[in-house]
């Protein structure tokens, strides 16, 4: 149920998205009714007009968490001063100065923080992790009751990754009961870091192992999170082809079309026609999301080819709507 101010009491989906123009454009076109159901984590690598402008124009029900990465400790407070509503993301290994700065931003903004525990990097035992959480409380002056906990599995791209990740996540979920967290989310990235080995000029199915991992854990009541249509890798490989990943139930269809000089509009139109006639195209058609509307326009040759930024925006827009729809239908399974 919506809370006062348009926020949902408990968002059901926590995507981790790089704060680039494409991803921010997709969030900006999110339906107002869906916005309160998301709590995205936006990963910042720089702060400029291409980031600040879109961040101030997000739907009113959407409150992002912001991970400032290697940027200066004061970045979160600087964004807040520019009118960007946010929840700061805190890491277990953050230094005392950063913890103090992030805590001050949280108290000034929302009285909330997000603690991001990266399971591959933060490989401490339960007692050491508890000590790290107590350290966050001392320096950021935030209690677990004020924080959402994110268990970040990184890339989970094959059955072996799922088998390795599941027991570790379950052990960490046992540890989470030591504290009264606001919520607990499990985040994983299912998109392969490189798509360059996939065939071109035909859609290729890629299983969403991140979704499968969450289904195996859903009986524990954890919130689902992923990396959208991108890899969890810090710097995914650049694809020189026209590339549009399209999300379906349990899999993506990766559309990689070769470029032909002077035929950009024709090639993207061919790609989009293949997509709208494919098995993952929603029953409601172009009305499913803003991204689907844009794809349908290109299939009719009603607009130009766009750029890699546009393709990411359309794919991400559809993905967000698809995941929210799937979560509304999902039941825990083993």
pLDDT of residue 17: 97
Mean pLDDT of 53-71: 91
pLDDT digits (tens, 9 = 90+) for 256-269: 999 876 577 899 99
In this structure, is residue 2 part of a structural domain?
Answer: no
Exposure b/e, 73-109, CB count within 10 A at least 16 = b: bbbbbebbeeebbbbbbbbbebeeebbbbbbbbbeeb
Q: Is the pLDDT of residue 194 over 70?
A: yes
Give tens-digit pLDDT for 96-149.
999 999 999 999 988 999 999 999 887 778 899 999 999 999 999 999 999 999
How do residues 198-214 score in pLDDT, each as one tens digit? 999 999 999 999 999 99
Q: How many domains does the chain have?
A: 1
Q: Residue 97: which CATH number?
A: 3.20.20.70
Return the residue matching tokens 């810090």.
234
Q: Domain range for residue 221?
A: 9-329
98 domain-assigned: yes
pLDDT band at 1 (very low <50, low <70, confident <90, very high): very low
Instruction: List Cβ neighbours of 117 (8 Å cut-off, separation of 6 or more).
Output: 92, 129, 149, 150, 151, 152, 172
| Structural domain contains residue 334 | no
Q: Residue 45 falls within a domain, yes or no?
A: yes
Report yes or no on 84 lying in a domain.
Answer: yes
Q: Is residue 310 part of a domain?
A: yes
**pLDDT higher than 50, residue 80:** yes
pLDDT, one tens digit per residue, over 178-188 is: 999 999 999 99
């Amino acid at each position: 149920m919506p809370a006062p101010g348009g926020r949902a009491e408990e968002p059901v989906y926590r995507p981790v998205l790089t704060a680039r123009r494409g991803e921010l454009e997709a969030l900006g076109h999110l339906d107002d009714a869906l916005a309160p159901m998301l709590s995205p984590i936006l990963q910042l690598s720089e702060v400029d007009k291409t980031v600040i402008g879109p961040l101030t124009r997000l739907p009113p029900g959407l409150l992002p968490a912001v991970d400032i990465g290697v940027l200066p400790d004061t970045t979160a407070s600087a964004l807040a001063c520019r009118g960007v509503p946010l929840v700061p993301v805190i890491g277990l290994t953050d230094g005392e100065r950063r913890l103090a700065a992030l805590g001050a931003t949280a108290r000034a903004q929302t009285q909330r923080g997000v603690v991001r525990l990266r399971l591959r990097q933060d490989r401490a035992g339960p007692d050491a992790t508890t000590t790290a959480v107590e350290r966050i409380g001392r320096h950021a002056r935030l209690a677990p009751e004020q924080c959402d906990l994110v268990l970040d599995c990184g890339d989970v791209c094959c059955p072996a990754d799922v088998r390795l990740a599941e027991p570790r996540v379950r052990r960490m979920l046992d540890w989470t009961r030591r504290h009264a967290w606001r919520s607990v989310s499990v985040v994983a990235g299912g998109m392969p870091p490189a798509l360059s080995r996939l065939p071109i000029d035909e859609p290729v199915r890629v299983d969403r192992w991140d979704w499968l991992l969450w289904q195996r854990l859903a009986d524990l009541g954890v919130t689902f999170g992923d990396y959208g249509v991108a890899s969890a890798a810090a710097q995914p490989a650049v694809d020189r082809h026209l590339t549009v990943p399209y999300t379906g139930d349990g899999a993506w269809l990766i559309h990689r079309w070769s470029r032909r000089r002077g035929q950009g509009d024709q090639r993207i139109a061919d790609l989009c026609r293949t997509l709208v006639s494919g098995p993952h195209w929603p029953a409601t058609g172009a009305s499913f999301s803003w991204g689907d509307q844009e794809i349908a326009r290109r299939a009719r040759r009603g607009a130009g080819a766009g750029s890699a930024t546009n393709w990411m925006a359309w794919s991400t827009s559809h993905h967000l709507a698809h995941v929210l729809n799937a979560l509304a239908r999902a039941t825990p399974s083993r």
